[in-house]
Amino acid sequence: MDPVSLGLLALLALTVMLMSGIRIAFATAITGFIGLWILRGYVPAASLASTIPQGHLSAYTLLVLPLFIMMGFFAFYAGITRDLYWAARQWVGHLPGGLAIATIFGSAGFAAASGASTASAAVMGRIALPELKKYGYDDKVSTGCVAAGGTLATMIPPSVLMVIYGFIAEESIGALLLAGILPGLLEAFSYSLMLIIRFKINPELGPPIKGITWPDRIKSIKGVWGMVVLVFLVMGTIYSGIATPTEAAAVGAMGALLLALPRLNFKKFRDAMVETARSSAMIFAIIAGVLIFVHFLGFTGMPAIVSEAIVSFDAHPTVILIGILALYLVLGMFLDGIGMLLLTVPIILPTIKELGIDPIVFGVLVVRMVEIGLITPPVGLNVYILKGVAPGVSMGDMFRGCGWFVFVDLINVAILIAFPAIILLIPNTMIN
């Protein structure tokens, strides 16, 4: 069997294994190892399967992942997340659909402390859904806000997916994190604008919060100022070049711990550390498995063949880019974001560079498409996680509630394709 045919057969086998429920870390590692065994023999395959993950996972840059994850868990277990949501409620609750908008901005605030979308959806679901229910908000709108708001964590730094993309693409992780700031803010404000319009047209979706005074608003800042300063300190050191992303992540983790100390007992500290270890181990296991599979694909020559085939199309690079992003939209319905990036970026990135598209711009756009996959059926991980928090709302209603947010996301992607300067504005002024 020629290498290309073997590669295609391996992709088919991997698809079957994933559809059968096998974890992506194991499915990719097994498929990649067997493929290497067939191509190179058992001893070289065993050597590659043991040395490739170790060589990549020991990279200093990947230390940023557990540190940012730790920062988010300290923020959660210290109750900082609830403070962020309450402050957003006090400042925007008076607007049409104010409590829904507060959920979006509360999610954006938590996104600045945690890079995990599913964690954000779970945390904000526990905090925001009872409050939305109390004021009689429509269930579809409520769950849609929480699920879509959770996706902000993949765009607003620190973002786990941005770090992983930077690792695969060998691009500056600091530049990628900074590139997500303006698209993330665009997402949050566009969600809010859409909600204001919907609630203006149909006030029965939920009432604004009345009776909020300026003293209430000023008082609410007390609980969040520390976290705001911490986030600006972390991103500011990356932007100014004072610290690498890994060093800034260490500052963030330590700062979140110090902020949490007044409300952090030993049990919460232990839980934060255990959850950090569990999440980090899951991510590193996926990376290790996919690295084996991707190296196998490299030996088959498939990445070069795919690149040549796409570049040979007689179409404008923007048209090809839209086609690739549409592919990610489909893949996002079946694969989790980390696995999707690790499996596809090594194959597609050479094509992107050949087309003259900035890898930083492509990274942000791909992460945005991954976000959409988190709230679209049939997989929609954020929605499935939210189901555990809101068992009384049907999955169908949750997905329908996300529909408006998916529509806004697609408009935002179109804006970013048309105006990539939005993505590059902050990274281009970054001090190296």
pLDDT in tens, 293-302: 888 888 888 7
Interval 40-93: pLDDT, tens: 899 999 998 888 888 778 878 888 889 988 988 888 887 888 888 999 999 999
- Spatial distance between the Cα atoms of 342 and 169, rounded to a whole number of angstroms: 10
What's the confidence (pLDDT) of residue 188? 95
263, 78 contact by CB (below 8 A) = yes
Measured in residues, the chain has a length of 432
122 by DSSP, 3-state: which? helix
User: Which tokens is 293 given?
Assistant: 């599979």
> pLDDT-derived band of residue 429, with 50, 70 and 90 as boundaries?
confident
Taking residues 336-364, what's their average pLDDT?
Answer: 87
Residue type, 100: A
Highest average pLDDT, of 24-38, 114-128, 310-324, comes from 24-38
**Sign of the four-CA dihedral 283, 27, 150, 163:** positive
Beta strands in 309-391 (DSSP E): none
The radius of gyration computed from the CA coordinates of the chain, to the nearest angstrom, equals: 22
Choose the weakest-confidence range: 6-10, 262-266, 336-340.
336-340
Output the CA–CA distances (angstroms, integers) from residue 154 to 144, 213, 227, 283, in the order listed: 17, 34, 19, 14
Residue type, 85: Y
The number of folded domains in the chain is 1
What's the confidence (pLDDT) of residue 21? 77
Output the CA–CA distances (angstroms, integers) from residue 248 to 115, 236, 245, in the order listed: 14, 9, 5
Taking residues 103-110, what's their average pLDDT?
Answer: 92
Q: What is the pTM of this model?
A: 0.89
φ/ψ (deg, to 5) at 115:
-100, 10
- Spatial distance between the Cα atoms of 277 and 264, rounded to a whole number of angstroms: 18
Question: What range defines the domain where residue 344 resides?
Answer: 3-428
Residue type, 245: P
- Spatial distance between the Cα atoms of 393 and 386, rounded to a whole number of angstroms: 9
